[in-house]
Amino acid sequence: MFKSKSFRLLLVIATLVLSACGAPATGDTGTGGNAAPDGSVAPAASQAGAPASSGGQATKVAFVYVGPVGDAGWTWAHDQGRQALEQNLSNVETAFLESVPENPADAERVIRDFAQKGYNVIFTTSFGYMDPTVNVAKDFPNTRFVHISGYKTADNVSTAFGKIEEPRYVSGLIAGKMTKSNTLGYVAAFPIPEVIRGINAFTLGVRKSNPEAKVNVVWTNTWFDPQKERQAAEALLDQGADVIAQHQDTPGPQQAAEARGLFGVGYNADMSKFAPKAVLTSPIWNWGTYYTNVVKQVQAGTWKSEQYWGGWKDGVVDLAPIGTMVPADVQQMAEAEVAKFKSGEQDIFTIFTGPINDQSGAQKVPAGTALTAEELLSEKMNWFVEGVQGSIQQ
Amino acid sequence: MLVISVLAAAIGAGTAILFACLGEILCERAGILNLGVEGMMLSGALAGFATTYGTGNPWLGALAALAAGGLLSLIHALLTISLNANQVVSGLALTLFGGGLTAFLGQPLVGLPAPASFGKLPIPGLAAIPVLGPILFRQDALTYLSYALVPLLWYWIYRTRPGLYLRAVGESPATVDAMGLSVQRLRYIYVVLGGMLAGLGGAAISLASNPGWTENMTAGRGWIAIALVIFATWNPTRAAVGAYLFGGVEALQFRLQGAGTSISPFFLNMLPYLFTIIVLVLATRETVRRRIAAPAALGLPYFREERS
């Protein structure tokens, strides 16, 4: 029955097939370096032309990604940041490894591998890399580590995140003006503080420009499933929503809105190319500015461990160009708000300044006081503001 | 109104799974287990979108998806039928290979808008029927194609002579061999047909429900299709029921959330798998196994003149 010879032959073939599918990624993709199947790292093609600077040796910068660079969302945005870093600084050499699992064994192996290869700065771009990053950092005191979205630091480990709620709030201001049914939909991934904070900021914006409007929330319990996210949006549209916002990594919800001739607000990157008639705007990440600053500091020797939480003012977050379907007066209103955030006159704390009621209508934040950073970032962010319809599953 | 919209959404969401499941039924009926459905769906999704992007014609895209799925399954056929390799390992390799290959080849296509796609195409007259019209006849062209395919395959498998050979080759390849038919040729044909349908299932996502290309966009639907084959007990009509049940669960959970009910979406997501497990348990009993007609030679390589 079972022929061991053919089984061995198959294993050989399978190995060949698998290694073939991992290896060719360095070719003509235009994005530069990629991972070989054995976990080693090929440097990106950034050295085009000898480094112009007088410093001589290039700073080696590595990135660890949780998803594929082709996800059109979170990881894509980080990789855009990496590419911007290469363009901004000439004496920099970058490498990345994508789809690295968040389990301690894999993540630590990958990070350690980068450190051993002599990379000067290592960015780890997902929450789950927190402990692995700190662990590896202990053994490489001269290497700088930056962990995105976590809270553990060390002498050579910084944390960094951005106030995406600021552009979310402005996108809410626009959405509130564009709804006719006074019902908006929000396709949300997981009931965690980060997502809840975004829903609240968006709803505060919506209610500011349209006090009658309500925001219906559904949870998909996935970051990445185009068809499921679209289904969630369809359900919201069936309930009468005419603007669909999202905290998801694919444009599925925007496509659902487009198919019905209604509107949407994207996320992560400008999603208008997927649904040009629907996307009013998208809150976007702009990691390039931050990455460039960090590497500049390292090169100048001024880098210090910090807990970075950048806002619009710092250029980490932004709003994609507002669509032409938005009337001129609404655009002007939005642009004026954008200017206030960019100048620092407004920030995430002014958004979350009272009086703010919770879902039941009871006052949660008294007039004049603002939520603290801790109240915004920690598990205390487990309530919805007034105007949100939906529940937080515990 | 709610029921109609849920059912319409269920069919829309179930179409991709249905194509893949029908393909896998053909393949398993012929006695070959192909766990590479996810990889074949992805290759179909990418080939379909790439071709549509290049030509502007989604029908050419659908043809390309058929070809891509078929081509990938040919690898599986070669390994498992000609070389008698282990079907599970080969199928898994195909899934990994398809995922990696499409991620690599599809990189330049990420984020590009689809120049054309299969939009909703209400059938004049039929779409106006109360209740049934909005559920069944306001879908896209690929969904209509899947409607036709279900009875067609049912008739083929149960009512035609080639269908009898198909069932026989999965049941007792030695008998088919004794009849003077080529076991290898039959199996090749159905594995490749199955791969083509899986590819078309991928295109139902990249060209109809979510026009565009993103890496790993099938997000596990190939595995659901494989589970569904057992759920459907290798029967195309029951496959339709199962695919729409899966689609319905997906559609229903969001509407229940909106209605403010407290049924956990995790519970709903689990239900179809529970049925699958029940069928698997039942299928261990010989009498039941016969009644539901599980292909007896499924997963076993065929060696002429070897006693099993």
Tell me: the pLDDT tens digits for A47-56? 333 333 445 6
Tell me: the pLDDT tens digits for A336-387? 999 999 999 999 999 999 899 999 999 999 999 999 998 998 889 999 999 9
Mean pLDDT, range B255-277, rounded to an integer: 75
Mean pLDDT, range A219-246, rounded to an integer: 90
Cβ atoms within 10 Å of B137's Cβ, excluding its own: 20
Mean pLDDT, range B210-221, rounded to an integer: 87
Nearest CA in chain B to A239: B258
A150/B91 Cα distance (integer angstroms): 39
**Average model confidence (pLDDT) for chain A?**
86
Q: In which band, very low, low, confident or very high, does the pLDDT at B3 lie, cut at 50, 70 and 90? A: confident
Q: In which band, very low, low, confident or very high, does the pLDDT at B194 lie, cut at 50, 70 and 90? A: very high
What pLDDT is attached to residue A128? 87
What pLDDT is attached to residue A103? 86
Q: Has residue A32 got a pLDDT over 80? A: no
Tell me: the pLDDT tens digits for B120-137? 899 999 999 998 999 999
CB burial readout B145-183, b (16+ within 10 A) else e: ebbebbeebbeebeeeeebebbbbbbbbbbebbeeeeeb
What pLDDT is attached to residue A12? 47
Judged by average pLDDT, the poorest of A261-275, A351-365, B101-115, B199-213 is: B101-115
Q: Has residue A24 got a pLDDT over 60? A: no
| Chain B residues within an 8 Å CB radius of A17 | 75, 93, 97
What pLDDT is attached to residue A45? 38
Q: In which band, very low, low, confident or very high, does the pLDDT at B246 lie, cut at 50, 70 and 90? A: confident
Asked, for residue B124, whether it belongs to a domain, the answer is yes
Asked, for residue B226, whether it belongs to a domain, the answer is yes
Q: Between A11, A231, A390, which is nearest B13 by CB?
A: A231
From B215's Cα to the closest Cα of chain A, the distance in A is: 6
CATH code at position B21: 1.10.3470
A325/A180 Cα distance (integer angstroms): 14
Q: Has residue A29 got a pLDDT over 80? A: no
Q: Which of A7, A10, A282, A393 to mutate to test the interface with B (most CBs of B within 10 A)?
A: A10
Which residue has better confidence, B270 or A381? Answer: A381
A377/A131 Cα distance (integer angstroms): 19
Which residue has better confidence, B228 or A24? Answer: B228
Could B219 and A228 be called an inter-chain contact, meaning their C-beta atoms sit closer than 8 Å? yes
B239/A209 Cα distance (integer angstroms): 49
The residue range of the domain holding B16 is 2-303
C-beta separation of A167 from A266 below 8 A: no
What pLDDT is attached to residue B2? 76
B108/B112 Cα distance (integer angstroms): 8
What pLDDT is attached to residue A394? 57
Q: Has residue B197 got a pLDDT over 60? A: yes
Domains in chain A (CATH in brackets) are 5-162+286-314 (3.40.50.2300), 165-284+321-389 (3.40.50.2300)
Overall residue count recorded for chain B in this entry: 308
Mean pLDDT, range A214-232, rounded to an integer: 89
Q: Which of B49, B71, B107, B298 to mutate to test the interface with A (most CBs of A within 10 A)?
A: B107
> For a pLDDT cut of 90, what percent of chain B falls above it?
64
Tell me: the pLDDT tens digits for A185-199? 999 998 888 899 999
Could A29 and B104 be called an inter-chain contact, meaning their C-beta atoms sit closer than 8 Å? yes
C-beta separation of A36 from A23 below 8 A: yes
What pLDDT is attached to residue A56? 61
The number of helices, as runs of H, and strands, as runs of E, in chain A is 12, 16
Could B258 and A226 be called an inter-chain contact, meaning their C-beta atoms sit closer than 8 Å? no
What pLDDT is attached to residue A290? 94
Q: Has residue B101 got a pLDDT over 60? A: yes
Could A71 and B214 be called an inter-chain contact, meaning their C-beta atoms sit closer than 8 Å? yes
Mean pLDDT, range A128-150, rounded to an integer: 94
Q: In which band, very low, low, confident or very high, does the pLDDT at A285 lie, cut at 50, 70 and 90? A: very high
Could A234 and B16 be called an inter-chain contact, meaning their C-beta atoms sit closer than 8 Å? no
Asked, for residue B209, whether it belongs to a domain, the answer is yes
ipTM of the shown complex = 0.75
What pLDDT is attached to residue A174? 97
Q: Between B79, B120, B211, which is nearest A13 by CB?
A: B79
3-state secondary structure of B134: helix
What pLDDT is attached to residue A61? 97
Asked, for residue B308, whether it belongs to a domain, the answer is no
| Chain B residues within an 8 Å CB radius of A228 | 219, 250
Could A238 and B5 be called an inter-chain contact, meaning their C-beta atoms sit closer than 8 Å? yes
Mean pLDDT, range B143-168, rounded to an integer: 96
Which residue has better confidence, B200 or B219? Answer: B200
Asked, for residue B113, whether it belongs to a domain, the answer is yes
Interchain contact A191–B (C-beta under 8 A): no
pTM for the whole thing? 0.79
Overall domain count for chain B: 1
